[in-house]
Amino acid sequence: MSAAVPNDQLINDHLIEERESSILIKGGQRKNQLKCDADSIAGCISQRACVYCGARVVLNPVTDAIHLVHGPIGCASYTWDIRGSLSSGSELYRNSFSTDLKENDIIFGGEKKLARAIDELVQKYKAPVVFVYATCVVGVIGDDLEAVCKKAAQKHGIQVIPVQSSGFIGNKSAGYRAACDALLRLIEPRSAARPPVNKYRIKSINYLGDFNLAGEAWIITEYLRQIGVEVNVVFTGDSKCNNLQKAPGAALNIIQCAGSMAYLAQRMEELYGIPYMRVSFLGLEDTSASLRSIAAFFKDLQMQRRAEELIRRETVAVKPQMEGYRAKLRHKKAAIYVGGGFKAISLIKQFRELGIDVVMVGTQTGREEDYQTLHHIADNGTVILDDANPSELERFMTEKGAHLLVGGVKERPLAYKLGVAFIDHNHDRKHPLSGYVGAVNFAREVHDTVCSPVWKYARGSGGGIYAGS
Amino acid sequence: MLDCTPKEIIKRSGGVINPAKTCQPIGAMYAALGIHNCLPHSHGSQGCCAYHRSHLTRHFREPVMATTSSFTEGASVFGGGGNLKTAIKNVFAIYNPDVMAVHTTCLSETIGDDIPTLIKSAEVPEGKVVIHANTPSYQGSHITGFSNMVKGMVDYLARSDTDEKKEQVNIIPGFINPGDMREIKRLVSKMGIKFIMFPDTSGVMDSPMTGKFHMFPAGGARVEDIRDTGNSRLTIALGYYASSNPAHQLERNCRVPAMTIKTPIGIKATDDLLMTLRGKFTREIPYELEEERGQLVDVMTDTHHHFYGKKVAIFGDPDILTGLTEFVLSLGMRPVHVLTGTPGGTLGGPQGIFEKEINEMLAAARLEGRVKAAGDLFELHQWIKNEPVDLLMGNTYGKYIARAEDIPFVRVGFPILDRSTHPYLPIVGYRGAMRLVEMISNALLDRQDRDAADEDLELVM
Ligand code: SF4
Ligand code: SF4
């Protein structure tokens, strides 16, 4: 079976009609436009999460904040320290705070309980900021978060910021936006005399859209330091309230996770005149290209020279390892199903670096331009799909003979059940995947799972336990 | 250091810090997975369903399938009826389960969607069933949700066809791992008694690797069996919180007498289960089980000196805790702090049944301890700061306390997110009790080895 032969038949039998337009095969005759950014169909198994989830992901790495979830208990329980973003200081963000709304609160409103919770927590923890997340129920019963937070802020002399993240008002992207709005409120200069914008720290940047999973932001900060760029603040990996408030002083914003932070960058350009640029530090190619564009932005020859030096040094250092992995992984087939489009694009490039063919790529919340890029760079025959459900993932991985799936927590056991290797490119990742070291870690993880001897036992078992022997 | 808990205990009234429970739908989802060919359905926004699936996935390391009504703003204003009807149509068209088990989320509860009426007016294909449970999370906990969904199974599926009851027993196992359910089934089988266990997640949440993905793995209680529970002579509900409500519902609906006993964790609770079966069905307890019991007692006597007088803090789900507390007491340990997040009185009965039960056990052992239902882990941590313990037992979230206070830690209960294999290995029955002894003594003795000065390190312990 050649991957280059487009096979529309693959799609037509057995898939849900409404889902047809969300799936396409590169090079297939049917179409080259994918439907995306649409609501999931009721009654489908979707891998998607909600607005609150999006907001929480983005804000959680503000380490010295009290993250108070206003709602019934579950929303807070499930998000208790599952994010994997590391801190160099405060660990307060790793606790789980909830107003734990009860029936009475639903009937009579939860504002009083919320106010009490804020009072008690602020007293106990002396935190500089409280984020109050609205969950679905709060949106429906109509608690006035704005008012409660304002009052609490005055009372305690700190920032108490509502996050409008009721789950039903959209999907995860709406949550990113809610988080960005909250951040904008946090960094808004409070004195009437704004600091002089953007001029006084010439070589300083804000690094947006890195949540310091497994310490990734630290790696990138160090590269930038070496080429002579000072990272003013990371949004929001390992960040603290008072660093964040210095954000308007940077000369440039660079964005790693565009899905979550492009909006914030746009707003900061409007408000503070800070230009922004998209970067990616996933994979050797993207990392090098990003360092070059940052150096080019500053029009500083010294910096450009240092960047080239760093790129050469680091590339040379990782080359032998990468080639070792490449030799073992060449012509393996990978499937990708991740949250955002930008990550999917980076992953395709990374697999290329390893000689791996990508046979399926999909996202939960990719946008039209992401899918255009994906379509552009994918090989002929690659299945491209939006908001996939497990049966579709199973079907295409099996049909395309994938050896590996990249995804998040819910995809892992699915892959394993199929006898397919897996790596987590989400919050459960255990090693940093950014930068040059990250590229090696990624290659190693791919290798260690794809080449594990366990699959020998797993594969034979399809036709009964002793079938393969 | 992950220690953000002050020692000084102050009164709190504004919510929870570090919860010791989670919300109803995840319990309902887990229960529904214990029906063969059943697809759980979450009636609400996508987020809840995604979280519940992720959390179950992390605990069991298995794919967890569930559909959602995918509420958007429209649904939250005009009601989710349309979404549910579409969902019912799609679920059967696409996934073709035998049963679709709908549970609500806080959102659909708050809007007030009338699920039974919606189900009645939906087009359900011939031979298929849609069951439901109301699971608002501003009441109870995941344990309540489990109980409610099992009650839904009773209401929708169980039928009494004959006046004469059959020589068979219904077992409602409660919110325990599939490995535990297997072990309970083994014990009942060894007694030679015909039984129907429901829900039964064995074969679903511990399904074998076959190289294929099965949307509906081979296990689970079959619809016809659940239907037949109405004809059984007796229902044994294991665990007051997770099981007794559905058992009594079955009694009301189909006149099957119900009795509730403890989840069979530890020697006494296992004895109780077997003695109950023996008494009700006049069977002899086979030598094999007596042998197992004897082995357990042997292990307990071999090791009791390691345990005597050791202070232990236990937290988690109430039905598990009653068994665990009783068991550590039988080992001579002192359970000085026992805390569950699940509030008391889930049966609409009096509050504090949990506290009462544990306190009675402590009193019988002439001990005193702090016992609380509807507590959180912040509070437990404060207790431990004020009265330190030698051992902590509970779900994964205990690791923060264990680390902050440097206490040996045994993982039991739900959820366990940072270890594997536990869903397969029982803690119930005599064998499960042996495993508990092993886990507890490993934790205590490893600690002793690690802390021993060179001259104090002993080869034989
Ligand atoms: S809103 Fe959803 S996740 Fe939150 S408590 Fe309710 S059911 Fe659970
Ligand atoms: S209730 Fe809403 S906010 Fe909470 S998890 Fe569910 S969808 Fe998300």
pLDDT digits (tens, 9 = 90+) for B168-212: 999 999 999 999 999 999 999 999 999 999 999 999 999 998 888
Q: Does the beta carbon of A50 sit less than 6 angstroms from any atom of ligand 2?
A: yes
Those residues whose C-beta lies under 8 Å from the C-beta of residue A161, and which sit 6 or more positions away, are A129, A130, A131, A132, A149, A182, A185, A186
With an 8 Å Cβ cutoff, are A410 and B63 in contact? yes
How far apart CA A290 and CA B379 sit, in angstroms, is: 48
Q: Using one digit for the tens of pLDDT, what is the confidence trace for A104-141?
A: 999 999 999 999 999 999 999 999 999 999 998 898 89
Residue among A48, A98, A391 whose CB faces B50 most closely = A48
A25 has pLDDT over 70: yes
Q: Using one digit for the tens of pLDDT, what is the confidence trace for A341-370?
A: 888 999 999 999 999 999 999 988 788 888
With an 8 Å Cβ cutoff, are B105 and A91 in contact? no
CATH T-level topology, domain A9-32+319-457: Rossmann fold (3.40.50)
How far apart CA B27 and CA B79 sit, in angstroms, is: 24
With an 8 Å Cβ cutoff, are B137 and A116 in contact? no
Residue A110 has φ and ψ, to the nearest 5°, of -105, 10
All residues of chain A having their beta carbon less than 8 Å from the beta carbon of residue B209 are 416-417, 419, 458, 461
- Nearest residue (CA) to ligand 1, atom 2: B48
- State the pTM of this model: 0.94
- pLDDT for A191 equals 52
Half-sphere exposure of B317 (CA within 13 A, CB side): 35
A466 has pLDDT over 90: no
As to burial, measured by CB atoms within 10 angstroms (0-12 exposed, 13-18 middle, 19+ buried), residue B302 is exposed
With an 8 Å Cβ cutoff, are A141 and B25 in contact? no
Residue among A52, A76, A459 whose CB faces B19 most closely = A76
- Please check whether residue B176 is in contact with residue B428, taking contact to mean a CB–CB distance below 8 angstroms: yes
Please report the atom of ligand 1 found closest to the CA of residue A78. Answer: 3
Top residue of A403, A417, A420, A461 to mutate, by most chain B CBs within 10 Å, is: A417
As to burial, measured by CB atoms within 10 angstroms (0-12 exposed, 13-18 middle, 19+ buried), residue A248 is buried
Place of tokens 């037992």: B393
With an 8 Å Cβ cutoff, are A42 and B90 in contact? yes
Q: Does the beta carbon of A73 sit less than 6 angstroms from any atom of ligand 1?
A: yes
Residues in chain B: 461
Percent of chain A with pLDDT over 70: 90
All residues of chain B having their beta carbon less than 8 Å from the beta carbon of residue A92 are 4
- pLDDT for A196 equals 53
With an 8 Å Cβ cutoff, are A140 and B214 in contact? no
All residues of chain A having their beta carbon less than 8 Å from the beta carbon of residue B75 are 168
Residue A142 has φ and ψ, to the nearest 5°, of 80, 30
Q: Using one digit for the tens of pLDDT, what is the confidence trace for A59-92?
A: 999 999 999 999 999 999 999 998 889 999 999 9
- pLDDT for A14 equals 47
Taking the CA of B24 as reference, the closest ligand is 1
Model confidence band, residue A29 (pLDDT cutoffs 50, 70, 90): low
Matching fold, domains A9-32+319-457 and A197-308: yes
With an 8 Å Cβ cutoff, are B10 and A167 in contact? no
Residue among A103, A114, A391 whose CB faces B139 most closely = A103
> Rounded to whole angstroms, what are the CA distances from B15 to A1, A70, A82, B408?
59, 9, 21, 29
B430 has pLDDT over 80: yes
The CB density around residue A120, as the number of other CB atoms within 10 Å, is: 18
Please report the atom of ligand 1 found closest to the CA of residue A75. Answer: 4
How far apart CA A25 and CA A7 sit, in angstroms, is: 8
Which CATH superfamily, name and number, covers B166-288?
Nitrogenase molybdenum iron protein domain (3.40.50.1980)
Residue among A99, A136, A412 whose CB faces B106 most closely = A136
Mutual angle of helices B46-60 and B24-32, in 10-degree steps: 60
How far apart CA A333 and CA A351 sit, in angstroms, is: 9
Top residue of B42, B213, B401 to mutate, by most chain A CBs within 10 Å, is: B213
All residues of chain B having their beta carbon less than 8 Å from the beta carbon of residue A414 are 63, 213
Residue B242 has φ and ψ, to the nearest 5°, of -90, -20
Give A345 Cα–ligand 2 centroid separation in angstroms. 29
Q: Using one digit for the tens of pLDDT, what is the confidence trace for B86-131?
A: 999 999 998 999 999 999 999 999 999 999 999 999 999 999 999 9
Average per-residue pLDDT for chain A:
88
All residues of chain A having their beta carbon less than 8 Å from the beta carbon of residue B91 are 43
Convert B251-281 to b/e letters by CB count within 10 Å (16 or more is b).
beebebebebbbbbbbbbbbeebbebbeeeb
How far apart CA A270 and CA A103 sit, in angstroms, is: 44
Top residue of B3, B8, B30, B48 to mutate, by most chain A CBs within 10 Å, is: B48
How far apart CA B41 and CA B29 sit, in angstroms, is: 8
Q: Using one digit for the tens of pLDDT, what is the confidence trace for A380-430?
A: 999 999 888 888 899 999 999 999 999 988 899 999 999 999 999 888 888
Cα angle A286, A49, A77; round to 5: 110
Taking CA atoms, what residue in A is nearest to B17? A97
Q: Are strands A204-210 and B67-68 parallel, antiparallel or unpaired?
A: unpaired
Which CATH superfamily, name and number, covers B303-451?
Nitrogenase molybdenum iron protein domain (3.40.50.1980)
Average pLDDT over residues A272-288: 94
Which CATH superfamily, name and number, covers A51-190?
Nitrogenase molybdenum iron protein domain (3.40.50.1980)
- Please give the distance of CA B351 from its chain centroid, rounded to a whole number: 20
Residue A193, min C-alpha distance to chain B (Å)? 37
The CB density around residue B166, as the number of other CB atoms within 10 Å, is: 16
Q: Does the beta carbon of B42 sit less than 6 angstroms from any atom of ligand 2?
A: no
**What's the N-to-C CA distance of chain A in angstroms?**
26
A40 has pLDDT over 80: no
- pLDDT for A323 equals 96
Of B354, B314, B317, residue with least CA distance to B334 = B314
What residue spans in chain B does CATH classification 3.40.50.1980 cover? 24-157, 166-288, 303-451
All residues of chain B having their beta carbon less than 8 Å from the beta carbon of residue A83 are none
How far apart CA A278 and CA B190 sit, in angstroms, is: 66
With an 8 Å Cβ cutoff, are A414 and B18 in contact? no
Q: Which of B23, B30, B68 to mutate for ligand 1's pocket (most ligand atoms within 8 Å of CB)?
A: B23
With an 8 Å Cβ cutoff, are B19 and A77 in contact? yes
- Please check whether residue A22 is in contact with residue A144, taking contact to mean a CB–CB distance below 8 angstroms: no
With an 8 Å Cβ cutoff, are B14 and A52 in contact? no
- Please check whether residue A298 is in contact with residue A306, taking contact to mean a CB–CB distance below 8 angstroms: no
Q: Using one digit for the tens of pLDDT, what is the confidence trace for A166-225?
A: 877 777 788 999 999 999 999 987 654 455 554 556 789 999 999 999 999 999 999 999
CATH 3.20.20.150 applies to domain A197-308: no
- pLDDT for A21 equals 77
A31 has pLDDT over 80: no
ipTM computed for the complex: 0.93
- Candidates 3.30.930.10, 1.25.10.10, 3.40.50.1980, 3.40.1180.10; correct CATH number of B24-157? 3.40.50.1980
Those residues whose C-beta lies under 8 Å from the C-beta of residue B130, and which sit 6 or more positions away, are B88, B99, B100, B101, B102, B119, B122, B124, B156
Please report the atom of ligand 1 found closest to the CA of residue B107. Answer: 1
How far apart CA B176 and CA B428 sit, in angstroms, is: 9
Top residue of A78, A97, A112, A399 to mutate, by most chain B CBs within 10 Å, is: A78
Residue B375, min C-alpha distance to chain A (Å)? 11
With an 8 Å Cβ cutoff, are B63 and A51 in contact? no
Of B5, B4, B49, residue with least CA distance to B28 = B49
As to burial, measured by CB atoms within 10 angstroms (0-12 exposed, 13-18 middle, 19+ buried), residue A205 is buried
Q: Using one digit for the tens of pLDDT, what is the confidence trace for B8-57?
A: 888 888 889 999 999 999 999 999 999 999 999 999 988 899 999 999 99
All residues of chain A having their beta carbon less than 8 Å from the beta carbon of residue B19 are 73, 76-77, 80, 96, 98, 100
| Strand runs labelled E in A306-454 | 333-338, 357-363, 383-386, 404-407, 421-424
How far apart CA A200 and CA B93 sit, in angstroms, is: 63
Q: Map out the domains of chain A as residue ranges.
A: 9-32+319-457, 51-190, 197-308
> Rounded to whole angstroms, what are the CA distances from A192 to A146, A151, A188?
22, 21, 11
Residue A427 has φ and ψ, to the nearest 5°, of -75, -15
Those residues whose C-beta lies under 8 Å from the C-beta of residue B304, and which sit 6 or more positions away, are B331, B332
As to burial, measured by CB atoms within 10 angstroms (0-12 exposed, 13-18 middle, 19+ buried), residue A377 is middle
How far apart CA A164 and CA A131 sit, in angstroms, is: 10
As to burial, measured by CB atoms within 10 angstroms (0-12 exposed, 13-18 middle, 19+ buried), residue B124 is middle
Q: Which of B105, B111, B135, B141 to mutate for ligand 1's pocket (most ligand atoms within 8 Å of CB)?
A: B105
- H helices of B97-141, in order, are 106-111, 115-121
| Strand runs labelled E in A198-270 | 204-210, 230-236, 252-255
How far apart CA B205 and CA B66 sit, in angstroms, is: 13
Q: List the single range of A18-27, A217-226, A457-466, B203-212 with lowest mean pLDDT.
A: A457-466
Q: Does the beta carbon of A139 sit less than 6 angstroms from any atom of ligand 1?
A: no
- Nearest residue (CA) to ligand 1, atom 1: B106
Taking CA atoms, what residue in B is nearest to A116? B14
With an 8 Å Cβ cutoff, are B63 and A53 in contact? no
Taking the CA of A46 as reference, the closest ligand is 2
Q: Which of B106, B111, B141, B144 to mutate for ligand 1's pocket (most ligand atoms within 8 Å of CB)?
A: B106
How far apart CA A148 and CA B41 sit, in angstroms, is: 35
Q: Using one digit for the tens of pLDDT, what is the confidence trace for B341-397?
A: 999 764 444 456 899 999 999 999 999 999 999 999 999 999 999 999 999 999 999
Taking CA atoms, what residue in A is nearest to B20? A77
Residue A84, min C-alpha distance to chain B (Å)? 13
Which pair of structure tokens corresponds to residue B326?
A: 């009783």
Taking the CA of A135 as reference, the closest ligand is 2
With an 8 Å Cβ cutoff, are B15 and A16 in contact? no
Average pLDDT over residues A40-56: 85
Give A134 Cα–ligand 2 centroid separation in angstroms. 9
